[in-house]
Amino acid sequence: MPEPVRRIVGKAAPLEMDDVDTDQIIPAQFLKVLSRKGLGKYLFYRWRFDEDGRPKQGFILDQEEYRDAVILVAGRNFGIGSSRENAVWALMDFGIKCVIASSFGDIFYGNSVKNGLLCIKLDEESVKRLRGMAAKGELTLDIDVESETIKLPGGETMSFRLEPNVKKRLLEGLDEIEETLRGYEAKIREYEAKMRPFKIPSKAVMPIE
Amino acid sequence: MAKSVLEKIWEDHTLAKRGDEYLLYVDRHLTHEVTSPIAFEGLRARGRRVRRPDLTFALMDHNVPTSDRTLPVRDENSREQMRTLAKNAREFSITVFDYFSPWQGIVHVVGPELGLTVPGITIVCGDSHTSTHGALGALAFGIGTSEGEHVFATQTVWMRRPKQMEVRMEGRFKSHTSAKDAILYVIRELGTGGMIGHAAEFRGEAVKNMSVEERMTICNMAIEGGARTAIVEPDDKVYSYLEGAPYAPSGEDWTEARKYWETLKTDDGARFDKSYKLDVSRLEPQITWGTNPAMCIGVSETVPEPRQFGDSSQRRIVERALEYMGLSPGQRIEGTPIDVVFIGSCTNARLSDLVMVARLVKGRRVAQGVRAMIVPGSMLVKRRAERMGLHRVFIEAGFEWRNSGCSMCIAMNEDRLGPGERGVLTSNRNFENRAGPGSRVHLASPLTAAASALEGKIADPRRYSLAGLDELGLEWVSPWIERNILKPLGGG
Ligand code: SF4
């Protein structure tokens, strides 16, 4: 069950790349896990480590001034590809609390909401600008979920939009299963009662192949 | 009001609406060893049960070895994930097709062939390519692990309604081109984000003429264009594919089901938010040159030159991809030497794919120094191929004939490309490092992959004649194979 997300204040790191897919966020070899904790060390693994597992120099999140970044300013189509929720867990375990991009992979976006990782969609111009500012040096953003605003240093604010459900979910950090069962059990039963037999798998018999 | 097939299924399964999210009942939940353990863990932690074990099926595919199943599983983590799934399945009373099951295979191959996937139902699975099942007229979504836990406990999922996109394919395929070339071309044209937020409905003459398995190929890869899911309205071909399948309705239920399925057509005048049209008759075999599926060209074309791109960030992306792939700007793609050919994955490792490969490689030899492997999409596909005698064609040609699993498509088992190695793969993703660290992947159709295996270079399949079905010396052809595989290929 995610913690509520109300306000995020912290440093932003630029990731100047479009189409960052979840294979890059966390490679498949690190999916053979039975827990969601501790995945941060595998985040962007191939960009941060060589084939023998030695750290490579230079990846943005490993640079001194971005090491404690909590916000990632990316490009277009962040999180496309595989449905692996490990991508979200890895980002969060690493310390990232918010990703700003001009668009997101659909499943990645849904997974983020469920885990309390704030994903903010801004128009391309604004994303570019923020990324540029973050690349120039220290950029601390103050993001408020309730008012849907990002405060920049110097007082300027940008606003963003969250769907009401997403916003509510983030602010309250609800146990969604509990909520569904509490609110909709009757509806579920109603459907199940009138479910036609052909929608239920029949008892398997070995076929002629 | 005119409705699309998606709208009909959506409405049939809507239990409630909350803002712009819909609560949908889930008729089928498929789950595998990699994305499920943490969902089961969540259930256990709160003392919850799987609400409908009879609608839930588990199998092992992503990290299973494709070698001899009598040998121990060497990778400790894989073994642990498989054991965990078996244990979870027992504890929660779910049917599991495990490593040794005769029905083991890739989830998106197994669902349809066992009749777990039928028209008009909702299906979810913790895997992005769940859209594949849309080829049979089901509404199918890939979901995350938290969502999976929600489905286990409630048999429902909260879902925003995707916009609808019509992808019309008209015309007739030229020889040696197929569904894979069509979908690669669509993604090439629309980009990896071209269908984001949309459900793709594939329609048109070319889709009607496709076999059910070819439709699975296009629905499978719609995800690479960013689509939320994909669907094709069901027809007689789908019913024929399902009739007699072990979990499909039978007897009176079958008659009932058929009646219902007939209503699942997209009405004339149904509205789409976006549409795209393709004449498949002008396609040549397609192959990717870069590090996402949209970076794709015809096999006779040259790879792009960064300076063609006005936008500097575009230019950098192309430069980076060329460098990663070890290709020079403007070079011809055909003739590029390769190390590996992989015929497998949920995109292109069904029986009809294997028949096509057999027709091309029959009586020919894989080039020296190339590792060519065939990994059937399921153990049932493998058995059917062996009954027909196809495996002999492959083995004689020099292919490895392996057991089923995701294999090199995701490289979670031992099947992978070494750093810098180049492969032609029939799978669906060519991302950096996808088939192993430093791997260079070219996505293509089974025929293009087969021709490349013969030459040891990226090759144009059109230079090879295809053996007639009668020349393959098929041994054991069941009525199902005759009806669903050979007939659509122009035989049987
Ligand atoms: S074959 Fe590849 S794409 Fe298909 S389910 Fe397996 S890993 Fe995913």
Q: Which residues contact B331 (CB under 8 A, 6 or more apart)?
A: B302, B303
Tell me the C-alpha distance between B408 and B430, whole Å: 11
Contact B247, B115 (CB under 8 A): yes
Residues of chain B with pLDDT under 50: none
Q: What is the value of ipTM here, to two decimals?
A: 0.91
Contact A92, A34 (CB under 8 A): no
Q: One-letter amino acid identity for B54?
A: D
Q: Which long-range contacts (CB under 8 A, 24 or more apart) does A109-112 make?
A: A109/A79, A110/B143, A110/B144, A110/B147, A111/A83, A111/A85, A111/A87, A111/B144, A111/B145, A111/B146, A111/B147, A112/A79, A112/A88
pLDDT of amino acid A208: 66
Tell me the C-alpha distance between B83 and B103, whole Å: 17
Ligand 1 pocket mutation, candidates B36, B108, B342, criterion most atoms within 8 A of CB: B108
Contact B64, B55 (CB under 8 A): no
Nearest to A138 by CA among A75, A73, A91, A69: A69
Spell out which residues of chain B touch residue A105, defining contact as CB-CB under 8 Å.
Answer: 196, 226
Structural domain harbouring A143: 7-196
Q: Is the CB of B455 under 6 A from ligand 1?
A: no
Contact B220, B358 (CB under 8 A): no
A196 contacts B118? CB cut-off 8 A: no
Tell me the C-alpha distance between B337 and B408, whole Å: 19
> How much is the mean pLDDT over chain A?
92
**Residue A2 belongs to a domain:** no
Whether the CA torsion A80, A83, A84, A88 is positive or negative: it is positive
**Strand-pair category, B28-32 with B56-59:** parallel
CATH fold of B5-274 reads Aconitase; domain 3 (3.30.499)
Q: What is the DSSP letter of A198?
A: G
Superfamily (CATH H level) for B329-487: Aconitase, domain 3 (3.30.499.10)
* Residue A203 vs residues A32, B32, B247: alpha-carbon distances, Å: 32, 21, 6
pLDDT of amino acid A175: 86
**Residue A203 belongs to a domain:** no
A19 contacts B192? CB cut-off 8 A: yes
What SS3 state is found at B213? helix
**Residue A176 belongs to a domain:** yes
Nearest to B219 by CA among B340, B354, B303, B123: B123
Q: Is the CB of B125 under 6 A from ligand 1?
A: no
A49 → chain B, closest CA residue: B437
Tell me the C-alpha distance between B415 and A29, whole Å: 12
B249 contacts A197? CB cut-off 8 A: yes
Say whether B329-487 and B5-274 share the same fold: yes
Domain count along chain A: 1
Q: One-letter amino acid identity for B195?
A: M
Mean pLDDT in residue range A72-86: 93
Report the separation in Å between the CA atom of B70 and the middle of ligand 1, taken as the mean of its atom positions.
Answer: 24
pLDDT of amino acid B313: 83
Among the partner residues A80, A190, A209, nearest to B226 by beta-carbon distance: A80
**Residue A20 belongs to a domain:** yes
B373: region left, alpha or beta (phi > 0 left; psi from -120 to 50 alpha):
beta
With 90 as the cut, is the pLDDT of residue A83 above it? no
pLDDT of amino acid B111: 98
Q: How many CB pairs (< 8 A) connect A and B?
A: 209
Mean pLDDT in residue range A25-30: 91
With 90 as the cut, is the pLDDT of residue A37 above it? no
**pLDDT tens digits, residue range B354-388?**
999 999 999 999 999 999 999 999 999 999 999 99
Cα dihedral angle (B13, B230, B248, B154), rounded to 10 degrees?
-40
**Residue A101 belongs to a domain:** yes
Tell me the C-alpha distance between A102 and A127, whole Å: 6
- Token duo for residue A70: 């909590």
> Phi first, then psi: what are they for A189, rounded to 5°?
-60, -40
- Domain segments of chain B as ranges: 5-274, 329-487
**pLDDT tens digits, residue range A167-205?**
998 999 888 999 999 999 999 999 999 999 999 999 887
pLDDT of amino acid A209: 73
Contact B303, B333 (CB under 8 A): yes
Higher pLDDT, A112 or A36: A112
CATH number for the domain that contains residue A76: 3.20.19.10
Question: Facing residues of B444 across strands?
Answer: B287
Spell out which residues of chain B touch residue A35, defining contact as CB-CB under 8 Å.
Answer: 38, 41
